Amino acid sequence: MKRSKKIFLQLGACIIFISVVGILINNLAINLTRTGLGFNFNWLFKPASFALAEHPLPYNSSDSYAWALFIGWLNSLKVIFSSLILATILGILIGLARTVKNSLLGLISAGYITIIRQTPLLLQLMFWYFVGFLSLKDDMFINIESIFRISNQGINILGLTLSSEFAALLFGLSIFTSAYIAEVIRGGILSVSRGQWEAFRSLGISEIKGLFSIIIPQALPAIIPGLTSQYLNLAKNSTLAIAVGYSDIYAINDTIINQTGRAIECFLILLISFLLFNLLISNCMEFFNRLIINSKKYN
Amino acid sequence: MLNITLNSIKISLQKLKKTLFSTLLNTIISLVIILITCLVCLNTFGWLLYNANWKVITSNLPLYAFGSFPPDEQWRPATWIISLLLLSIVTLFGPEWKWLRKNLISAWAGTVPLGLYLLYGGIGLSPISSRHWGGLTLTILLTVCSSLLSLPLGIILALCRQSSLQLIQKISSIFIDVMRAVPLIAVLFFGQLLIPLFLPVGIEVDRVWRAIFAFTLFVSAYIAEDIRGGLQSIPRNQIEAANSLGLNQYQIIRFILIPQALRIALPALTNQSIGLFQNTSLMAILGLVELLGVGRSILANPEFIGQYIEVYIWLACVYWFVCTIMAILARHLEQRLTINQANF
């Protein structure tokens, strides 16, 4: 394409884009002044006047909206990282179960993966919350004297209490994500050539030792990118917490919008917080990736 | 004859022994799995047959399928769903007549206007507002409309992101990256609450179309990335060859790039549409009474209170069933496309 034509086309696209955005913003401004809301962030420092069931830091309803949002952010972070760890452990176990020789184990894990992947996450979360926790008798489901206790109040392990909302979210997210992680792991293991398996077997190395010291290190470069995208999905899916009543960042934004009507500002806050979550996760994974590449160089 | 069957049974038993009971560890694992599966199956079937109260499902079947659609007019969504099912069966198991196979695509494309006509009413049918749509019908409608709209938008976005025009490339990259960074529920929430704010005073879009719009924006960003992967895997010399044949830019995109990119991206696109079908359930939180929303409203009914397990198992089965049909249809399409490639 000629240079002049290129510039002409881009100018045209630019004008169309700017005018569309301009019309939208103009409409927005008209609507905001009509409803008398305007656009500012002063409300952030007014008292929130709603209670939160779960707060890792001290909070009461006379604290500001900004503090409530920060608590929601911490709650999100808490559920994302704990289910990330649980999902990884479960996913690795199921992914390995699909690759071992025992065909029964393979069948069971394949069934698990199809059932989990073919039903919506929201349905699974509701199942865990309403069936898994709330329908338990007031008393208990499992009660081993002050060590481990599951009831409709949540889970209690050695004095550490997890509320039923948090536990339902943790289980739902971890089990859902583990099915996807298992597929990533299986794909990574299958990407290592058959000859590697035959080679370590012919050297007399046991199956389990060979898997962990020969196959998995080679599969990791193929696994890490897939794992990263699953972690990002997990972070985004954690917003479904609102369905079980866990106060994560999205649920708190939702409450604030219902109270103050500040939809645009809250949407921007949500956008920025997810940008932060995504940066956090992808940077951690990038660091991990570099660690693996470096460790390979020295070997 | 008998000998052959006996032999094959013997061989398969030997195989079973080799895979399940080869070593001590394997044997233990197999036995434990068999034991647990038997226990779980016995308990579940016992519960399903004797303890479960399926009245909550059987007495509400029309509600699950059509939501609060007026009872006299329920044949309309029913016709639509049955025609979709019939079309799937014909596509999968129908005869291999050439004229039939050629017209199947237009038949599939025709289901969308047919569905909209049957639901909205209009010429010859009494009009029904979208407030009354619901159940599986609404779920399928959301899926079909959003995926149909997001495919062209996704293709355009992918092409823009590959374009040599810096500005266009930047705009589409920003759009795609932002959409992929935000959770779906935020986009849907944006659709329900914020779209009215961006429209001029007096213009209103109803809830269903706002939801479809939000789904389209979200899914098209993901589709764009899948198609970009397809575009990037097309070897550079194909474009050079097309150039040397004298094709212009538009012809190259239309006849060389898009068909190949779509075929390469097909498995990923299938996953997107299955994911979209499952994600329509999020609208239950945001006030549409689709399949999961119907389940929630039934559970809120004092007559059926506390029957969570029955309802959730039933809903999971419906979702699973439709997803499986979609996956099978997509695999069928993939196979046909690869066969065509071999013919060249």
| Pair B29, B117 in one domain | no
Rounded Cα gap, residues A97 and B26, in angstroms: 12
Sheet containing A160-163: give its strands across. A142-144, A148-151, A154-157, A160-163
B97, exposed or middle or buried, with CB in 10 Å at 0-12, 13-18, 19+?
exposed
Rounded Cα gap, residues B156 and B162, in angstroms: 10
What contacts A44, CB < 8 A, 6 or more positions away?
A64, A65, A66, A69
Residues of A in contact with B306 (CB under 8 A): 135
CATH code, domain with B249: 1.10.3720.10
B3: in domain: no
B154 contacts B223 by C-beta, under 8 angstroms: yes
Rounded Cα gap, residues A72 and A75, in angstroms: 5
Whether complex ipTM tops 0.90:
no
CATH code, domain with A173: 1.10.3720.10
Determine the structural domain holding residue A203 and report its residue range.
Answer: 40-298
What would the pLDDT profile of B212-235 be if each residue is shown by its tens digit?
A: 999 999 999 999 999 999 999 888
Instruction: Give me the DSSP letters along B205-216.
Output: --HHHHHHHHHH
Residue B128 has pLDDT above 90, yes or no: no
A81: in domain: yes
Confidence of residue A230 (pLDDT cuts 50, 70, 90): very high
For all residues of chain A together, what is the average pLDDT?
A: 86
Determine the structural domain holding residue B45 and report its residue range.
Answer: 23-52
Residues above pLDDT 90, as percent of chain A:
35
B109: in domain: yes
Question: Residue A175's pLDDT is what?
Answer: 95
| Pair B224, B307 in one domain | yes
What would the pLDDT profile of A71-123 be if each residue is shown by its tens digit?
A: 999 999 999 999 999 999 999 999 988 887 777 888 888 899 989 999 999 99
| Pair B108, B255 in one domain | yes
Tokens coding B293: 């929303």
Nearest to B311 by CA among A171, A126, A286: A126
SS3 assignment, position B300:
helix
Confidence of residue A185 (pLDDT cuts 50, 70, 90): very high
Instruction: Give me the DSSP letters along B235-287.
Output: -HHHHHHHHHTT--HHHIIIIIIHHHHHHHHHHHHHHHHHHHHHHGGGGGTTT
B36: in domain: yes
Phi, psi of B66 (to 5 degrees): -125, 0
| Pair B158, B284 in one domain | yes
Tokens coding A59: 């909070």
Nearest to A229 by CA among B116, B66, B229: B229
Closest alpha carbon within chain A to B35: A104
Confidence of residue B281 (pLDDT cuts 50, 70, 90): very high
Residues of B in contact with A105 (CB under 8 A): 29-30, 33
Rounded Cα gap, residues B250 and A157, in angstroms: 64
Nearest to A129 by CA among B312, B184, B46: B312
Nearest to B103 by CA among B119, B120, B90: B90
Contact A13 B167 (CB under 8 A): yes
| A293: closest CA of chain B, how far (Å) | 25
Residue B63: CA count within 13 A, CB half-sphere: 17
Question: Residue A227's pLDDT is what?
Answer: 92
| Pair B245, B300 in one domain | yes
Nearest to A65 by CA among A193, A257, A198: A257
Question: Residue B340's pLDDT is what?
Answer: 57
SS3 assignment, position A155:
strand
| Pair B209, B101 in one domain | yes
Question: Residue A297's pLDDT is what?
Answer: 59
* Best-predicted range by mean pLDDT (A7-21, A84-98, B191-205): A84-98
Residues of B in contact with A93 (CB under 8 A): none
| Pair B33, B98 in one domain | no
| Pair B83, B213 in one domain | yes
B243 contacts B286 by C-beta, under 8 angstroms: no
The better pLDDT of the pair A294, B320 is held by: B320
Residue A39: strand pairing partners: none
Residue B47 has pLDDT above 60, yes or no: yes
| Pair B42, B73 in one domain | no
Phi, psi of A148 (to 5 degrees): -145, 125
How far is C-alpha A250 from the geometric centre of its chain's CA atoms? 13
Nearest to B281 among A123, A131, A239 (CB): A123
B144: in domain: yes
Confidence of residue B10 (pLDDT cuts 50, 70, 90): confident
The structural domain count of chain A equals 1
B18: in domain: no
B91: in domain: yes
* Best-predicted range by mean pLDDT (A153-162, A172-181, B52-61): A172-181
Contact B282 A31 (CB under 8 A): no
Rounded Cα gap, residues B189 and A251, in angstroms: 12
What would the pLDDT profile of B249-264 be if each residue is shown by its tens digit?
A: 888 888 889 988 988 8
How many CB atoms lie under 10 A from the CB of residue B259?
A: 11
- Model pTM score: 0.88
| Pair B67, B45 in one domain | no
Confidence of residue B29 (pLDDT cuts 50, 70, 90): confident
B26 contacts A101 by C-beta, under 8 angstroms: yes
Instruction: Give me the DSSP letters along A140-208.
Output: -SEEETTTEEEETTEEEETTEEEEHHHHHHHHHHHHHHHHHHHHHHHHHHHHS-HHHHHHHHHTT--HH
Position A177, amino acid: T
Question: Residue A141's pLDDT is what?
Answer: 57
A23: in domain: no
SS3 assignment, position A142:
strand
Residue B173: strand pairing partners: none
Residues of A in contact with B182 (CB under 8 A): 236, 270-271, 274
B14: in domain: no
B239: in domain: yes
Nearest to B198 among A17, A24, A250 (CB): A24
Tokens coding A244: 């079980």
Phi, psi of B151 (to 5 degrees): -65, -55
Question: Residue A142's pLDDT is what?
Answer: 60
A56: in domain: yes
The structural domain count of chain B equals 2
Nearest to A102 among B19, B189, B316 (CB): B19
What would the pLDDT profile of B293-328 be if each residue is shown by its tens digit?
A: 999 999 888 888 878 888 999 999 999 999 999 999
| Pair B208, B306 in one domain | yes
| Pair B44, B89 in one domain | no
